[in-house]
Structure 1
């Protein structure tokens, strides 16, 4: 056990002690752990891109080229907000804009090579941060985490409507 394990255990107990079912407790503990780990990675990573810009780049990389309206919908922001995000990314050379062949008034946004390089940099940095944190775990904890990965990955799959 590390020097902070008592503090983490007390915090987890305080957050989860009010739940009636074991499933509720598991859900609360998982939410807390994932949220705190995500926050820790963002803080320790000190990335040069704000979260919405980074998320937008990832979305365009995965699904692109996309129209501004589709990006705004997927990121859960207004079109004017997405327009500002894309302007900033465009100024930094992270995205390219091209006419939409299906609609002369529309523009499709794709990730540029600079944007792909930035995404690789951020991913490598985040992977290194997590790797250093994994080094803190003993063999049993690492094995448990590795065994839990398929279940965690299954949680990522969107619900079917």
Structure 2
């Protein structure tokens, strides 16, 4: 009888789970580091992006989309209003209600943030050797196809 542990061969399903776990963790950590480096509030940026995508929305609609309470969303929208990134406008369908719309300043801020984050990723890529950058380039079509499912 041998004291060595038997070599364990991962089955295809287990390999897939391992790959998925590593990919998820790597993307999440990279995203977190970029978010930290750019210094933006994730929820505030998410709200700006949501309004850009869907158009003007009520606070309650924003809260539902972002999966936060209406009270939390109210605070976020107030902070965004104070920074002139969004504007509250009358709801044309319900005079009592207000819609939150992206301001010109907010639209510009989104573009600046996206450019900064792209620059931060480019800096990280530039620190890799050519072999690793080539591997990432080769993987991009597969990663992008995951987004189309």
Query: Structure 1 stretches (4+) deviating beyond 4 angstroms?
Result: none
TM-score (norm 1): 0.78
Q: 1:133 aligns with which of 100, 120, 124?
A: 124
For the aligned residues, what is the CA RMSD?
1.8
Q: Give the structure 2 partner of residue 95 of structure 1.
A: 86
Does 2:24 correspond to 1:24? no
Q: Give the structure 2 partner of residue 35 of structure 1.
A: 28
Unaligned 5+ runs, structure 1: 1-16
TM-score (norm 2): 0.84
Unaligned 5+ runs, structure 2: 1-9
- State the number of aligned residues: 138
Indicate the SS of the match to 2:46: helix
Indicate the SS of the match to 1:66: coil
* 1:59, distance to aligned residue in structure 2 (A): 0.9
Q: Distance in 2 between matches of 1:116 and 1:59?
A: 12
